[in-house]
Structures are given as C-alpha cells and as structure tokens.
Amino acid sequence: MEKSPHYQKKAMTMSTTPSSTLLNRELGILEFNARVLAQAADPKVPLLERLKFICIVSSNLDEFFEIRMAGLKEQMRDNASGLTPDGLSFQQAYQLVTARTQQLVASQYDMLQNVIFPLLEKEGIFFHLTTTWTDTQREWARDFFVRELGPVLTPIALDPAHPFPRVLNKSLNFVVELSGKDAFGREADLAIVQAPRALPRVVKMPEKLSGYPFGFVMLSSFMQGFVHELFPSIDVQGCYQFRVTRNSDLFVSEDEITDLREALQGELPTRHLATPCDWRSHRTRRRRFRAACCWNPDWGSRTCIASRAR
C-alpha cells in the first residue's frame, strides 16, 4: 500500500530535523525530577507530601540509573564514536548526566536535612542520630542491636585473598574501616557488612525514651553506633553506608528466541547481580571506598558516582 504524501512529509521532516533543536532525553528526565523536587520545596504543600515528593525523586533516580544510564553506558562501550540524537557524543552525554545528577542529589539531601527534618521535628517526628542519644537511649539501642540486628549480620573482611563481594542491587551495605589484628593474627583494614532486606530501615523508639510522639532511629545509626560489636578484638575507625544500583534492563533478542517466557526466566534471576551503573556512599570516604572497590573486578572505572551525604 502506497504511503500518503502527508506521511511521507512527516517522515522526511523527522529524519532531517537538526540535532540543535532536540533535547537530550536523559537530561530531560532529570529536569522532570527537578520539577518534582521543586514540589517538595513549596511551603504551600503539606509537610508529609513534601517528604513524599523527595522519596519519589529517589525512586525515579533508581529507575533512571537502572535503565537509562545503563543503556547510555552500553552505547559508550559498543559505539564509542557514536552520537546521541541531540548531537552529543555518548561520553559528553554521560558527563553532563553525571554532573546534573550529582547536583540534583545534593539539592535533594540538603532539602531533606535542612528543611524537612526540622519541620518534622516541630510536628513531633524526630530521627535520633547517634550524636544525639542520651545514655538511656543508647542502652535501648544497643539492646535492640544485640537482639535483633547482630544475629543476622555477617561481616566480610577485605584483602587480596578475599575480594569485594557482589552486593545486591539497591541493597544497603556498610564499609567498616578497621585497625589492628584479627583472631588469626592478620592485619585488618576494611570489612563489608551487608544489611539483609528483611531488616527495617527505621525503628520506632518508645515515646518515653524518645521525648517525641514519633521518634525513630535509622538502621544506619544502629550500625554506626554498634558495628564494633561485630569486631570484638579489632578497633573500628569508622562505618560508612553505601548502595549499588545495577543494570536492570532486559536484553532479549526477538530474532534469536522461540519462547519469550523462557528467555525472561533466564534474564530475571540475574538482574540483582548485573553490571553496576551507580554507587552512592558517604561523601567524606568516597576516595577510600573507591580504593577498596579496586579489588572487585565486577566494578568498572566508568561507574557513575552520585554521593549522598549522611
């Protein structure tokens, strides 16, 4: 069937559109999330809704890295000299997206810590950090750590004989800086503690102890306060949380498969250990952490970094 002149004209117009008139798709997605974050900055929006908008941005960025950034990295690897539809090289697009993401994440956490948390405190919702614990609160927190957390945590020492473990996609992990010798007389430097997904990220503190109607302690605070309980004979110099986002795009060739369900069954189980495309860690220890990652062949030098302050 012959195509209509209108269809031919439309197709010709799309194919000859100059790249200068196009917007980068990845940057466009990030700007959309910047507008979502702007809703969290609006004082007219109810407080809990503002917190929800910040959480939506986090969820959107996870999906962005799992699919869009992962795809961009694949294009950089397979066609280094190629261009995006807006005329940028893949490397240029990658650098621009990385820089914009870091700006967006910095704004997100600045708003959360300096605007939303103080407003929540006025409403009786408070997150107790280790630096604010009283002796009674610390005793309660230690008891909770020993009873509920310690039995399911397994520290993994890092050295040339024990490389960096393959952490699960979007799981919470902690790198622990150590000093001293272990039970076998070996020098201890770094260890990784992986938090099982079944553990709660926030725990409600009893109101009588908290002093607030809704007082909470984050899982990371428990770890930073009592991770030394996992290393009884070694000095703990610091504990820093990090998280890895992995490529979650599905690569299924329609020409080479006969059963789509079978092909997906083979792809889905490996998604949580796919190629890393983003890691986020405590800002002050980023360089130290990257040095630890050098032991891990699973991590590439082009992994995008979006640091999150504590």
pLDDT digits (tens, 9 = 90+) for 206-261: 999 999 999 999 999 999 999 999 998 889 988 888 888 877 665 555 655 666 66
Whether residues 239 and 299 share a domain: the answer is yes
The two structure tokens encoding residue 273: 């250990």
Sheet holding 202-205, edge to edge: 125-127, 214-218, 202-205
Q: Establish if 89 belongs to a structural domain.
A: yes
What's the rounded Cα separation, in Å, for the pair 169 and 187? 30
Q: Which pLDDT belongs to residue 22?
A: 78
Q: Establish if 129 belongs to a structural domain.
A: no
Q: Establish if 134 belongs to a structural domain.
A: no
Where does a domain end: 107, 122, 137? Answer: 122
Residues in the chain where the model's pLDDT stays below 50: 1-18, 273-274, 284, 294-295, 297, 301-310
Whether residues 105 and 166 share a domain: the answer is no
Q: 163-200: buried (b, 16+ CB within 10 Å) or exposed (e) per residue?
A: bbeebbbbebbbbbbbeeeeeeeeebebbbbbbeeeee
Q: Is the CA virtual torsion 292, 296, 299, 301 positive or negative?
A: positive
Whether residues 25 and 116 share a domain: the answer is yes
Number of domains in the chain: 2
Q: What residues are paired with 220 via a beta bridge?
A: none
pTM of the model: 0.77
What's the rounded Cα separation, in Å, for the pair 282 and 295? 19
The domain containing residue 37 runs over which residues? 20-122
